[in-house]
Structure 1
């Protein structure tokens, strides 16, 4: 499996890196959340821009992302616009999705961006090419808050992300049974073992999925998301506990 280096952070090797999501809504609350986050044992921060109350203003998004990047440095900033159809906080149009990310990329306001692979090949290819030209890494993702799709379906999605030149691939699903949990872990391990694989993030949501969040190093997942205050998805472990568990399993 390849590794990705961002601001001196190596993703895809060793203990999974801890990402703390910021899901506040206002400019001042987001800045405060960033300042709180950097007091915790994190490796990077994900700003969930879909919660921002000025999301449809690309300049406001880029300006705030730039501020966050300065506050968090050298920790990488991952900017994510999670759409409502994938469990996010905004039913944003494809046109606005493109416009906002283009502004972020143009102003070098992020170290990494998250692109939903099902936004359409043309849009995803365009943003990926532009991001790479500007030295910004791309996490390509898919989320299913209702179920765990088949292993065949999940591996096909990961293959599509790989073909579309993602730097990191991500799938997040909802397990309801032990078989679902085994599917997630098998897909994670199988993909990570492929000679063409990229660093992979596997997430099981809800209580049953917590084993995926903490067992990533065993099965090949490279990032785990830990909460500080409000979680961005069901089943997230508080960041201090997550660090303790990951370190214990690593050692």
Structure 2
């Protein structure tokens, strides 16, 4: 299993890490979230920049990112723009998306960048490679809000992410029934046996809560917990999530490989 190192934090080895999303709409709201962050037991912070209203131009975005990076200190920062079709708050303009992600990467502001692989980028593999040339690892993501897709669709989604050479693979699906949850967990268990890099599989909604706390058993390297406001359906409060994860046994990954820096 490859490892992804974000400063002193390693994904793909050791306990499941807890990511806490910041969803403030402006600098004042972000500052309030930062003040509450020490009580969250976060291992990683996700900044949901699609929550900024109005969305800033690139220079203002970079300025906000510098402030946030300084405030977080050694706590790793994942920067995410979640598009409307995948549960975000703004439409995605592919050209602007590529531009601000590359600028963020060139200035070394994120420790990790989320790239939506299925939201209209003309050449996702080339974009991911450009970010990686700046030594920024990439988490490729896809979200299904209309249900849990068939296992074959989930396999094809992960394969596409691997073909684009993403460092971490992330798939979130809406789990509406017990059968949906079982299908997701079975896929996760199978992925755990063959994965060559870290992955994240999430069941959204009330039925999916079990997927968020059983990461160690089923292989996900990361789980997302809410600070004050959840960024996706079914998120538990971050401190509660961290406590539950600490009570569960840690299972070793099935394979080892050279770490990816």
**TM bucket by the smaller chain?**
over 0.9
How far apart in 2 are the matches of 1:16 and 1:172? 17
How far apart in 1 are the matches of 2:159 and 2:170? 11
Give matches, 1:164-175, under 5 Å: 164-175=164-175
- Aligned-pair RMSD on alpha carbons? 1.5
Deviations along 1:176-231, whole A, 9 cap, x unmatched? 11111111111212122215x31011111111100000000000011000111100
Any conservation in 1 of the 2:83–2:119 contact (CA below 8 Å)?
no
Give unpaired runs (5+ residues) of structure 1. Answer: none
Deviations along 1:22-44, whole A, 9 cap, x unmatched? 11101221133123213321100
Matching residue of 1:22: 22
Pairwise CA distance, 1:83: 0.3
Pairwise CA distance, 1:21: 0.3
Distance change >3 Å, CA 216–CA 115, structure 1 → 2: same
How far apart in 1 are the matches of 2:16 and 2:230? 18
How far apart in 2 are the matches of 1:175 and 1:40? 26
Give unpaired runs (5+ residues) of structure 2. Answer: 251-261
Matching residue of 1:57: 57
1:230 lines up with 2:229 in the alignment: yes
Give matches, 1:13-162, under 5 Å: 13-120=13-120, 122-162=122-162
Matching residue of 2:238: 239
Distance change >3 Å, CA 34–CA 127, structure 1 → 2: farther
Aligned residue for 2:225, secondary structure, equals: strand
How far apart in 2 are the matches of 1:92 and 1:56? 14
| Deviation larger for 123-132 or 57-66 | 123-132
- How many residue pairs were aligned? 250
Any conservation in 1 of the 2:47–2:77 contact (CA below 8 Å)?
yes
How far apart in 1 are the matches of 2:67 and 2:150? 41
Pairwise CA distance, 1:234: 0.8
How far apart in 2 are the matches of 1:39 and 1:71? 15
Matching residue of 1:7: 7
Higher relative contact order (CA 8 A, sep 6+): 2
Pairwise CA distance, 1:46: 0.2
